[in-house]
């Protein structure tokens, strides 16, 4: 699953506020959300994500942070096809 332009338009303004002000730069939020969606739709293990999605650790860590701070629930509230991660954070495959 890749976010449609309409879905991305609903969450993009908020995503700018989710970028850390200090430290390294985060990868594009849109691409990370597409990667998370692919992982849950296919049931793939994190370590077996295709190379085109980049390093799985970065995506996993972002989802973990977003699960704890409520960002992922917020995203899923605006994208109807989003799969919620059970509990307060993601489960590890």
pLDDT digits (tens, 9 = 90+) for 13-30: 666 555 555 555 566 788
Residues 33 and 4: their CA atoms lie apart, in Å, by: 11
Q: Which of 14-18, 45-49, 55-59, 72-76 has the lowest mean pLDDT?
A: 14-18
**Helix (H/G/I), strand (E/B), else coil: 33:** helix
Please report which residue ranges of the chain form alpha helices under DSSP H.
5-15, 29-42, 56-69, 71-78
- CA angle in degrees (0–180, nearest 5) for 67-73-74: 120
Give the global pTM.
Answer: 0.69
């Amino acid at each position: 699953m890749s976010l449609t332009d309409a879905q991305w338009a609903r969450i993009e303004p908020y995503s700018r506020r989710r970028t850390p002000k200090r430290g390294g730069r985060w990868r594009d939020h849109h691409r990370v959300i597409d990667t998370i969606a692919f992982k849950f739709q296919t049931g793939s293990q994190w370590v077996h994500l295709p190379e085109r999605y980049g390093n799985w650790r970065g995506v996993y860590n972002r989802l973990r942070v977003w699960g704890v701070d409520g960002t992922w629930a917020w995203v899923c509230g605006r994208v109807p096809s989003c799969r919620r991660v059970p509990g307060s954070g993601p489960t590890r495959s």
